Structure 1
Amino acid sequence: MNLLYWLDPWEFSPTVVIALLVPAILFVRGAHKAKVSILRRISFWFGLVALYVALHTRLDYFFEHEFFMHRAQHLVLHHLGPFFIALSYPGAALRAGIPFSWRQHFVRPALETPVVRKLLDVVMHPVVAVTLFVGLIYFWLMSPIHFVAMLDWRLYRVMNWSMVIDGLLFWWLVLDPRPAPPARLSPGKRVLVVIAAIPPQIILGAFIFFTPHELYPIYSICGRAFTWLSPMRDQQIGGLLLWIPGSMMSVIGALVALRHWMRLSARGRLRSERRAKAKQGLAQPTSAPASSHR
């Protein structure tokens, strides 16, 4: 079996193809206009390919038949893929990739509607952002809900896409390199937001790892992909994936946000520093011109 065999989708989904192809085309069109660096391009394509692999390859069979593989899938969908896409700061390139007339007549009016603006204000609020980021992990790992989601293909796809969308919103908010405004949060709040998401992930991962009984029997009922792996060992590995790599991604995000904070501070682009400079400029007395005597 070659690489093309594994890239072939387990279940073809036109939604996945369209959802990933559109930003890919826009990025290709706009990357040159927006002068995107090589490292940012690599970051964007790595994140987008990671999402494709986790959503639309033969690995999906293993994601549906082993708990630890399912956790690896969500680690990519919720953390790794969105993280690298947000790290590439693709906003300018994606906007440049949209034809100007479309931006003027469709995109800008849609984004400026009260409903969209209010919705973004809500989901981008720091408390809501952390609650959604952590809450979705807890929600989909509740045993009764997880049982149904792994049986119903429609709910299974809703689960996966909710992780992708929430991951993109969260990391876009946290990894924004700009000062506030135009960024929604100040650099200090971005660091606090991502740090706040770490303890709940550690707690849930540790709970799954140390629970002495099987929490997710759906995998034993439907048949496991790896028959040599016991249900409890599978569950423990899944808990570790949430506990350690998931938390480490948040630590890395906090370090990136901290780096942006220090860079903006060094350049004097923080709001508090701009205000201090403005007050200092107003406080300096103006020297009156000396009068001339004949």
Structure 2
Amino acid sequence: MVDHQFQYTKQDDLPIPKRIGEYRVIEFVSRYTEAQGSVYKALGPDDTVVAIKVIGNSFQSYSHSLIAALIGEDDLEALKREAEILSKLDHANIVKFLHTGEDAEYGTYLVMEWITGGNLRTMLLQYPERKVPTTVSSHIIAQILSAIEASHNAGIIHLDIKPENILLTEDGSVKLSDFGVAGTSNDEFMAGRGTEGYMAPEQIDLSKINLIGPRTDIYSVGILLMEMLTGCLPQRENIEGNILQEVPASLREFIRCATEESPDSRFTSAEEALRHIINIK
């Protein structure tokens, strides 16, 4: 086995690629955790602004063969799988997939529509104590549930719903993004597939892995709503505690139903949860 040596550096210390495929890179946007990949803002041949997701370019060497050796074929397959999943989804509240490509230097890349309004995490930081008004929170959650309903109808479970993966357009619309750990009901899941704090119990406990399904996403939505209304990300034992006392009773009931320990006790579907949140006055 060849021993590849490399030096890991922060993105700020790395040169931004000038081009990826036929796209001219404008700026670095963010890093995502899978395989230490990055997202860039770029211009297409027709000057359309897009987002490009690549794997492994957090290393000083951009050799495609070296990237493959460092991150493994599993990570490359994960990116291709995400592209396949996104290609099946066409919904106003899901980020639009454009296509994938192969670059001689950077390897496989995924091209998506560019969303200009930042993400929900950025929005939360703009509110005093990070508490979002109930009407705004309900409107955002309704759009997320609409996206999840479409995803579930296509047989896809997102598994990583969190503020960073909720993009916002300039007019306030929601776009669910990053299907990097998404799966289907037929997949064999591993514990810990998701983000700590937002994962349902069945994502954490190895003995409950077989319970992962559409209701797993509903749990994460409930946690997300709780964070938006209270300004913090509570521990499981606090869901029934004082943290929800300032939340309106109707939304408090929604959160409790969405975040039940057992999936069977939660809303039966994203559609049911959506109807519930829409009917809250």
Q: TM-score, normalised by structure 1?
A: 0.31
Q: Identify the structure with the greater helix proportion.
A: 1
Q: Identify the structure with the greater strand proportion.
A: 2
Q: TM-score, normalised by structure 2?
A: 0.32
Higher relative contact order (CA 8 A, sep 6+): 1
